[in-house]
Structure 1
Amino acid sequence: MLRPGTFLQDRYEILEQIGSGGMSDVYKALCHKLNRPVAIKVLKEEFSSDSGFVSKFKMEAQAAARLSHPNIVNIYDVVDEGNLHYIVMELIEGITLKNYINKKGCLDVKEAIGVAISVAQGIEAAHEQGIIHRDIKPQNIIIARDGKVKVADFGIARAASSQTLSATAVGSVHYISPEQARGGYSDVRSDVYSLGITMYEMVAGRVPFQGDNTVTVALAHLEDPITPPSYYNENIPVGLENIILKCTEKKPEYRYGSMHEVISDLRKALVNPDGDFVQYNSQVDDSQTVIIGKPELEQIRSGRKIQADPIAGRNGNRNQEQRPERRPDKNAGGQQGSSKARKQDTEDDINPKIERLLTAAGVVVAILIVIVLVIVFSKVGGLFRSGSPKETEPTAEISTEETLSDKKVKMTSVVGLATDIAEQKLKDNGGLYMKVSDYVFDDTVDKGDIVSQDPAEGTVIDKYSAVYVVVSKGPEHATIDLTKLDLEKMDGVAAKTALEGNGLTVNVEQKNSETVASGYVISYSPDKAKEGETVTLVLSSGPALANPTTVPNIVGQTQEIAVEMLADAGLVQGTVTEAASETVPRGSVISQSLTENSQVEAGTAVDFVLSSGTAQQSKYKYLASIEKSYPLQNIIGPGSGSTQLTLKIQLRQSVNGRDEIRELMGPVTMAGDQSLPVSFKNIEGVYGISGGTVEIVNVETGDIINSYYVTFIPVPQS
């Protein structure tokens, strides 16, 4: 292990260890020559003396160093320094895709497709250079801080060649392809499989195969059918799911043939998420099974004709080459020999394939004759049997079944079955295999069960054919049992919040009740509802009132106006509190204790909350002061001592083009020969308004007797 401060080649200063793998440790370092941060992968000490490990380690560098692509981590240098073997690479500041998935649970569909396209582009660049990564997994994919996606760690990558026929099964077991698991041939389609598993984890939040040990997981890749990712995340569109399922086919020939094809379909999925654009490779070979014997095999290999009796043919040719041509003998023996020779030549000229076809045709004709005779005799036998027509139906059905060839099967029904049970049932019924064509919401079929099938039940189809099914995603909106919410124990506000939290629309009605406290739930309907439906709440307005009045809506009004509105309705001001608000202007009502339009007894007190302004406004207040005295005789003249006036003092400020008036001193009655003191040390004005007018008002006439302009300054709240 290298310590911080260690220099390699008098150039790279080790800063810290940032990772560790099975074969190597990774450090963050500073290249003093180019003054840039780098990542250095150092082969572990226990492997540095093993030539095999060292060779494999160098092979990683040689493979990756040939690649230059925005989605592949760059290799800067490869160094052997004594017992140290290390690679200097581009340092990517970011997070691995594995950690990103663990952090988010599962990725958004568009985000997952974007990451998959970037990864596929990097792998495609490697494939074009003849390099198979062989270890594609989220741990080897890095998302940089600027959002770029890069493929790293070609630790088990190797150049694809025709000699790679029995490669060792390597790669992380949860993402390994079936051919890698069994130690078979690996090509670009192995990377396609691993990318498919990675995409599966991105959108489902988990890998498809899990187990207690690596052997169990590896066997699952070889044998177990893959559960569609939409089983774990119903928001996955059909287009993306079909791409993932095609990438993760067990047999390589059924997968995408190249990363270019994967990228093309991923781009289609971005534009048309639910489109049916994925083209599946044919998985059924309907050609007749033919047993190839040794002569035919020799013929295929050599490309020459083989006689019916190869030994005789070879002997004849050899004798003909060694002896001169003889004239035919005229005696009987000669004629007999000549006849036999001609017969042998004729037999040699018969094509063995034609002979087999004629034999097979004869067998087929014989079978058809037998079937016709069985049907005829069964019908004739029915003429002599008594009973209703219903008794003859089983015989007809048996005859129909007998006419099915070895290559045909009658379609069974899988509607209503779970997908795994349906898949096994189809497999048992003539080797049929299941393909999911769509996922739909269904109120009657449970999630994960089959809604419909194509072909329909009873249809005669080829064995080993594909059966397309539509799978239920369950009800689009789950039914909510409202009886479990205990709404009767809630007041109107709590009940409405609970219902709206479940995606329901609430309609509130009022009703008098002698038993249920005012504002609490009397009843509701219906008892069960789905998201988006309306629920009616009946709230108690208390006992019937002797002198009822309607509560006005005072929200948004100033305190003065709110008090006037309550008085007009026969109500009185209750407790007034203040609270900060980002939306309600300072001095206006935020909320009230009694619901608007509700019926209450006249004289009831209504509490309300006034806005103290925004949080910023709560830190400061705008204050002004005035010290004046106004002689009333100025307006009354002589004889003012015998005259009385009722006056008040108010503050007027212009706010957003509208006058706001606040009373500073209530109405007082004074003699005309007195002076009215206009003295206020701390007049609080509207936040942010720097000026205003203090006015003396004649209450009886409403006339403004005199006014004084005052300036407001911001002062921190104590």
Structure 2
Amino acid sequence: MILRPGTFLQDRYEILEQIGSGGMSYVYKALCHKLNRLVAIKLLKEEFSLDSGFVSKFKMEAQAVARLSHPNIVNIYDVVDEGSLHYIVMELIEGITLKNYISKKGFLDTKEAIGISVQVAQGIAAAHEQGIIHRDIKPQNIIIARDGKVKVTDFGIARAVSSQTLSATAVGSVHYISPEQARGGYSDVRSDVYSLGISMYEMVAGRVPFQGDNTVTIALAHLETPITPPSYYNEDIPVGIENIILKATEKKPEFRYGSMQEVISDLRHALVDPNGDFVQHNPQIDDSQTVIIGKPELEQIRSGRKVQSDAPSAAHGVRDKDQRKDRQPDRGGNSKQTAARTRKDDSGEDINPKIEKLLTAAGVVVAVIIVIVLVVVFAKVGGLFRFGSSKTQETTVEASTGETLGEKSVKMPDVLGLTTEIAEQKLKENGGLYMKISDYIFSETVEEGDIVSQDPSAEAVVDKYSAVYVVVSKGPEHVKINLTKLGLEKMEATSAKSILEEKKIVVKIEQKSNESIQSGYVISYSPTEAKEGDTVTIVSSSGPALTNPVTVPNLAGQTKELAAEMLADVGLIEGTVTEKISDTVSRGMVITQSAVAGTQVESGTAVNIVVSSGTAQQARYKYLASIDKSYSLQNIIGPGSGSTQLTLKIQLRQSVNGKDDIRELMAPVTMNGDQLLPVTFKNIEGAYGVTSGSVEIVNVETGDIINSYSITFVPVPQS
């Protein structure tokens, strides 16, 4: 029966909407009018309600779970029979199931997965302490609330620990079911450990380990197929969490964690040491006791008579132990498999356990005798008891290796030079090997994305399902640039040089006369392709053949005034002066020049210069000052000064960043001692941000400062 919205149960719970359904029940959102709170109601489906035995167990188990109270378990408020309706009233959690959360994200970050797993394990551990096994742990039964709290729900097939658990039919979801549940065997707390391990696998790998066309195929995989390490699907999974998952999902319960508390302890360790080797694997050995076969027992075996059992439950215990006899290969495929496996007919309910022990012991004795004989034979053939040739010993080793390869090992394939996709597929096809990328490096010889090196190396004998660490090429560290796309031929040589140097290419400029290309412009360059650190030679035009050549001075770093004087000194003319913002060249200093320093040009050629206007902030303001004074030279010469001459200059001195900055305001001039020296300057531009300075009259011949005037600079916006 499906309940409609508006239906009241017990005149208390108003059904609001259906929010889910499962194999055995429907789940509704309801309002409890008595306590004025929202609740969830799980209603047993009609086909199960008609089975009185099932209903009785359902109620008994629900009531047992109702005793649980833990922050990570959904609380059960009531278990109700109302006519033909049987339902549970429980806490309503607003959130998302872990299954849907994984589907949305693909897979979870390791720390997030550990945090969720710890909360789930804490809830299940609380149930185990009350003697309750969940038996259906899966992401669909784990809810992440809006506040981040994780809660375990749906104890619908949970069972109190009792003798009934021994032969209980496997009911849990097949993708997460433990091997012992799949075979209908004994289930205990370690069955929940296995299901939690599969759920953790799905969290970090984004998929369950076993998939198939039907439930039978998947159940058989839980029983027989070695589990593929989750890092095969997500290489970022740390070793620590992977080892926890692999231990939790061992085929045999005795090799798993013995309790949820052990799982929680290792999960917390993985948070602080994710790549640590701290997971303690149980020794996987057969600890069966040796049984001595006596004469009466041998007679019973020969006659086929049955021995009466003193305890009816003993047969069940032996059968369970034999059912767990086959051990799963470990995660690397190199577990020590037994040479022969004991198989028995599950239908043989009347076989006496003593006879089974006797048969087992007899088989052990025979096996030991055969092994001893084989050891002696091979020892004699291989020269174990005498000093034989090394060649014979090598043959024996090779034969042994051949057997090992067939059972649990493979030869490492060569994946060097392959793309990561092809290499990964090739490794997978060779013994289920899985690839992990340990590093990315630059390579001049291996293309980007291809394998540079592998560990273990090709042809090495390795365990099946083991990891192969590879180094992948990032391609050349510096990619070659096609210089033809930069249009260098149409540029001035200095501009072309700047562009290449910005790409960290070394530039060498050579001069060559050319009748058709303007002086200072690029004629040619080589090579046409280059990468960072390479050298490119630019051939710059010096114009037509020179009749009166002069050498261009280096103006970079000089003031505009001094640059003009340097050009005039060699017979060149100052051309166009432009300003450019610069964070590296001080304000007022030359950044670049049109004619390359050190080259020869025709006398009288105009040289353009670019002067720094300072930083972007400095370009907004100028610091200006002015002075209008005059100085009588008689003050220093005295009477009869008219016949005396002095060579003087005027300069500006400022303190910039703790250092004297001197700039010439008037070039040296020779004057008579009876003249007045005008000290008149308008709009003297000082250093940016410096508000004081002094104008000095200097005797050029002696270097003495004759007189000094203090001036103040004020910021003036640039026009």
With the length of structure 1 as denominator, give the TM-score of the two structures.
0.53
Q: Distance in 2 between matches of 1:484 and 1:213?
A: 53
One-letter amino acid of the structure 1 residue matched with residue 438 of structure 2: F
Partner in structure 2 of residue 185 of structure 1: 186
1:125 deviates by 0.9
Residue aligning to 2:107: 106
Matches for 1:380-391 after TM superposition, within 5 Å? none
Going from structure 1 to structure 2, the CA distance change for 1:121 and 1:452 (only over 3 Å counts) comes to farther
**Match of 2:470, SS?**
coil
Describe the superposition over 1:239-287 as per-residue Cα deviations: whole angstroms up to 9, x where unpaired.
Answer: 1111000001111111111111111111111121121111111113398
The residue type paired with residue 475 of structure 2 is I
Gap change, CA 1:373 and 1:261, over 3 Å in 2: closer
The 8 Å contact of residues 240 and 273 in structure 2, kept in 1 or not, is answered as yes
Distance 1:227 1:42 in 2: 39
Aligned partner of 1:86 in structure 2 is 87
Which of residues 471, 474, 478 in structure 2 aligns to 1:479? 474
| Contact 1:522–1:538 under 8 Å retained in 2 | no
Instruction: Decide whether aligned partners of structure 1 residues 415 and 13 sit closer, same or farther in structure 2, where only a CA change above 3 A counts.
Output: same
SS of the residue aligned with 1:165?
Answer: helix
Secondary structure, aligned partner of 1:54: helix
- Is 1:281 equivalent to 2:286 in the alignment? no
Task: Identify if the C-alpha distance between structure 1 residues 50 and 292 changes in structure 2 by more than 3 Å, giving closer, same or farther.
Answer: same
Structure-2 change in CA distance of 1:511 and 1:549 (3 Å): farther
Amino acid aligned to 1:134: R
CA distance in 2: counterparts of 1:246 and 1:281, whole angstroms: 9
Q: What SS class does the counterpart of residue 480 from structure 1 fall into?
A: coil
2:176 maps to a residue whose letter is Y
Matched with 1:269 is 270
Corresponding residue for 2:69? 68
Asked if structure 2 preserves the Cα contact closer than 8 Å seen for 1:29 and 1:37, the reply is yes
Letter in 2 for 1:205: G
- Residue in structure 2 matched with residue 215 of structure 1 by the alignment: 216
1:143 to partner: Cα distance: 0.9
- 2:106 maps to a residue whose letter is G
> Would you say 1:451 and 2:452 are equivalent positions?
no
**Structure 1 pair 549–162 and aligned structure 2 pair: CA distance change class (3 A):** farther
- Aligned equivalent of 1:416: 412
| Separation in 1, partners of 2:365, 2:252 | 37
Q: Does the 8 Å contact 2:70/2:126 carry over to 1?
A: yes
- Once the two structures are TM-superposed, the CA of residue 425 in structure 1 deviates from its matched residue by 10
Q: Once the 2 structures are TM-superposed, how far is the Cα of residue 77 of structure 1 from its aligned partner?
A: 1.1
Structure 1 gap ranges (5+): 304-355, 383-391, 427-433, 458-465, 493-505, 526-534, 552-567, 575-588, 590-595, 612-700, 705-718
Is the deviation greater in 444-453 or in 224-233? 444-453
CA contact (8 A) 1:446 1:472 kept: no
Match of 1:198 in 2: 199
1:441 lines up with 2:442 in the alignment: no
For residues 153 and 60 of structure 2, what CA distance do their matches in structure 1 show?
Answer: 14
Distance in 2, Cα, partners of 1:232 & 1:359? 45
Q: Distance in 2 between matches of 1:76 and 1:490?
A: 76
Verify: 1:24 aligned to 2:21, yes or no. no
Q: Cα distance 1:550–1:137, how it changes in 2: closer, same or farther (>3 A)?
A: farther
Shift of 1:16: 2.2
**Residues 217 and 541 (structure 1), Cα distance of their counterparts in 2 relative to 1, 3 Å cut:** farther
Name the CA distance, whole Å, in 2 between partners of 1:228 and 1:71. 28
Whichever residue aligns with residue 471 of structure 1, its letter is A
Contact 2:433 2:468 in 1 (8 A): no
1:486-509 per-residue CA deviation (whole Å, 9 max, x = no partner) reads 9879889xxxxxxxxxxxxx9644
Partners in 1 of 2:133 and 2:43 — Cα distance?
22
2:156 — aligned with what? 155
Residue 133 of structure 2: aligned partner:
132
- Cα shift at 1:124: 0.8
Distance (whole Å) between structure 2 residues aligned to residue 216 and residue 448 of structure 1:
39
Q: Quick one: distance in 1 between partners of 2:538 and 2:64? A: 80
Deviation at 1:152, TM superposition (A): 0.4
CA displacement 1:662-699 (0-9 Å, x = unmatched): xxxxxxxxxxxxxxxxxxxxxxxxxxxxxxxxxxxxxx
Structure 1 pair 206–397 and aligned structure 2 pair: CA distance change class (3 A) = closer
Equivalent position amino acid for 2:467 in 1:
V
Structure 1 residues 212, 425: closer, same or farther in 2, change over 3 A?
closer
Alignment of 1:239-258 (within 5 A): 239-258=240-259
Do the aligned residues in 2 keep the contact of 1:442 with 1:472 (CA within 8 Å)?
A: no
- Structure 1 residues 483 and 378: alpha-carbon distance in aligned structure 2, compared to 1, 3 A threshold: same
CA positional deviation for 1:58: 2.6
Task: Verify the 8 A CA contact 1:120 1:259 in the aligned structure 2.
Answer: yes
Q: Is the 8 A contact 1:238 1:439 kept in 2?
A: no
Whole-Å separation in 2 of the counterparts to 1:41 and 1:490? 72
Partner of 2:173: 172
How large is the Cα RMSD of the aligned pairs?
Answer: 5.9
Is structure 2 residue 55 aligned with structure 1 residue 54? yes
CA 396–279 in structure 1, closer or farther in 2 if over 3 Å, else same: closer
Structure 1: which amino acid aligns with 2:253? P
How do 1:589-600 residues align onto structure 2 when only pairs under 5 Å count? none
For 1:182 and 1:140, locate their aligned partners in 2 and report how far apart those are by CA, in whole Å. 23
Equivalent runs, 1:508-523 vs 2, <5 Å: 508-509=504-505, 523=529
Contact 2:410 2:463 in 1 (8 A): no
Mapped to 2, the partners of 1:5 and 1:87 lie a distance apart of 18
**Which letter does structure 1 place at the counterpart of 2:186?**
Y
Aligned 8 A contact 1:67 1:74 in 2: yes
* Alignment CA distance shift 1:604-1:158 (3 Å): same
TM-superposition CA deviations, 1:408-441 (whole Å, max 9, x none): 9999975635999999999xxxxxxx999x9782
CA distance in 2 between counterparts of 1:244 and 1:3 reads 43
CA shift, 1:4, in A, is: 2.5
Q: TM-score, normalised by structure 2?
A: 0.52
Q: Which amino acid aligns with 1:280?
A: H
User: Displacement of 1:290 after TM fit?
Assistant: 7.0
2:9 is the counterpart of 1:12: no
Are the aligned partners of 2:408 and 2:463 in contact in 1 as well (CA < 8 Å)? no
| SS across alignment from 1:33 | coil
Segments of 5+ residues of structure 2 without an aligned counterpart are 302-306, 310-362, 414-422, 442-449, 488-501, 510-520, 544-551, 558-574, 584-589, 596-607, 618-710, 715-719
SS of structure 2 residue aligned to 1:207:
coil
Cα distance in structure 2, aligned partners of 1:225 and 1:372:
34
Mark the CA change 1:398 to 1:61 in structure 2 (over 3 Å): closer, same or farther: same
